[in-house]
Amino acid sequence: MNFELDDDQLAYREAARQFSRRELAPNAAEWDANSVFPVETLRRAGEMGFCGLYIPEAHGGLGLSRLDATLIIEELAKGCTTTTAFLTIHNMVNGILSRYATDAVREAWLPAMITGEKLGSYCLTEPGAGSDAAALRTRARRDGDGDQDGYVIDGSKMFISGAGSTHLLVVMARTGEPDSGADGISAFAVPADTPGIEYGKHEEKMGWRSQPTRAVSFDGVRVPADHRLGEEGEGFRIAMQALDGGRINIATCSVGTAQAALETAHRYIETREQFGKPLASFQALQFKLADMATQLVAARQMVRLAASKLDRNDPDAALYCAMAKRFATDEGFSICNDALQLHGGYGYLRDYPLERHVRDCRVHQILEGTNEIMRLVVARRLLAKDDLENLS
């Protein structure tokens, strides 16, 4: 497949590159050190269109393909992994609203979400339902009739990015019987300040420190019926469909961060001397740099292949999204770790960005489905095939 970029794609990438250099890279270390959630910067990203990357133009977004979106996300991640990762989650929420919300809810929320004036969180994971998301227990029961028709939500969610600082929650809750599995789950758009919602403590995390992560509890939270997204029982399909794109997004964040780490390591070994010679003159380090660059290019191409499959509604798109997420997040972390190693003791200091890159990329192997689950997804889809001749 030919991934040569056209003029429009080059322009998208350049706009993102300039924004990343101007707004993200100079502030990433401070945001990380002080756990700053940069809402004003997110609003400026919204002004650039980066909060509505693949939202149709008719709904106020840029209407980009998933492949085009990866070009922007990669450049943003080079500047600040954590802020970019939140932007991808916000885009995922907006994509769900655009596609599944009622006209009234879409018109009430989406314009401000696309500009970044208001922000969203994606609420799927629970204390007892992480990898096994279909086992979630948060309950939404039907209540009332006529003008009071709606749902009452009870339960809790864990590890919710942006929670407590966002304005709208996309919540997956069980509307079927307790044993109804994936078919009994529905999705809801819930204003974050609705009575009955409480937020847990700000989790102290290894990485992703410039976005808040909290538990969210729902106690008798009343939601109007028109805030349901899609039909009853459609929530798990909506969640998994969103996660296919989310896996590409987080894989792209790994690629962008790895690119930044590779560039930092390249500059360092060219200027740092040991034994009277530049580090770049030692063959062992040349080989390491070569391997890192090869890993990076392979991961980038894997991500772009998966994105193109998703854009074409390829029946195997989910397979390629899982492959890309597993490969790019593993390789991205490896590249960042190797870049730190090339810096020796300096790489372990906060004066250099490598330790932050390592911390931020580590969680990419866990979220949007752990890489162990990605292997399971890939294996099951491969075993369901009659032959493997057309994998490409």
Give the catalytic positions in this structure: 368
CA distance linking residue 163 with residue 313, whole number of Å: 32
Positions of E strands within the chain? 120-123, 139-143, 150-161, 168-174, 185-191, 197-199, 213-224, 228-229, 273-274, 277-278
Cα radius of gyration rounded to whole Å, the chain: 21
Distance of CA 46 to the CA centre of its chain: 16
The enclosing H or E element of 66 equals: helix 66-79
Nearest to 88 by CA among 335, 262, 254: 254
The residues, ordered by sequence, that sit 6+ positions from 340 with a Cβ below 8 Å of its Cβ are 261, 347, 348, 354, 355, 357, 358
Q: Look up residue 64 and give its two tokens.
A: 């980009």
CA distance linking residue 84 with residue 195, whole number of Å: 30
For 298-327, give one letter per residue: b (16+ CB within 10 A) or e.
Answer: ebbebbbbbbbbbbeeeeebbbbbbbbbbb
CA distance linking residue 190 with residue 223, whole number of Å: 7
Nearest to 217 by CA among 167, 169, 150: 169
CA angle 97, 142, 228 (to 5 degrees): 5
Nearest to 55 by CA among 14, 99, 9: 99
| Helix, strand and coil percent figures for the chain, each rounded to 5 | 55, 15, 30
CA distance linking residue 368 with residue 125, whole number of Å: 10
Residue 169 half-sphere exposure, CB side, CA atoms within 13 Å? 31
Our CA dihedral for 144, 150, 155, 157, rounded to 10 degrees, sits at: 180
**Helix (H/G/I), strand (E/B), else coil: 65:** coil
